[in-house]
Amino acid sequence: MGDEAAVPGTAPEKVIHTYPLIRHSDMSEEMRVEAVELTVTACEKHSQNNELAARMVKEAMDKKFGPSFHVVVGESYGFEVTYECTNMCYMYFGGNQAICIWKCS
């Protein structure tokens, strides 16, 4: 009984959000959509390998918007970067991954 009572109580807290969530971005609408899509694809494809995911996003972004993009995929890290304006996107995905994409050549 107690367990059952506890389950509905905890249920709303246990909701895990996996949708891509932009924390900070100054990209243009088009670029941002593209970046988010790429990130989703890459992170889903390489869910176990952040390096590959980052590489995939970086290469695709380079191809689409010109070099040089930098991508960081990870679960916990801190950063301080200098980026070219309107080329920065910091987002969360999958509930536990933070992806930082910026351009600086």
For another protein, give the closer residue by CB, 57 or 98.
98
- Structure-block tokens of residue 74: 């990870």
* Piece of the chain touching another protein by CB under 8 A; list 13-21, 30-38, 48-56, 59-67: 13-21
Q: Is 39 in the site for another protein (CB under 8 A)?
A: no
CA 52 from centroid of its chain's CA atoms: 14
Among 6, 7, 23, 37, binds another protein (CB under 8 A): 23
For another protein, give the closer residue by CB, 50 or 56.
50
Q: Is 14 in the site for another protein (CB under 8 A)?
A: no
Q: How much is the CA Rg of the chain, to the nearest whole Å? A: 17
Q: Are 67 and 91 in contact (CB under 8 A)?
A: no
Q: Which residue has the tokens 């889903």?
A: 44
Among 27, 60, 88, 101, binds another protein (CB under 8 A): 88
Per-residue DSSP letters for 2-36?
Answer: HHHHHHHHHGGGG----S-EEEEE-S-HHHHHHHH
For binding to another protein (CB under 8 A), which residues are involved? 15, 17, 21, 23-24, 26, 74-85, 88, 90, 92, 95-98, 100, 102, 104
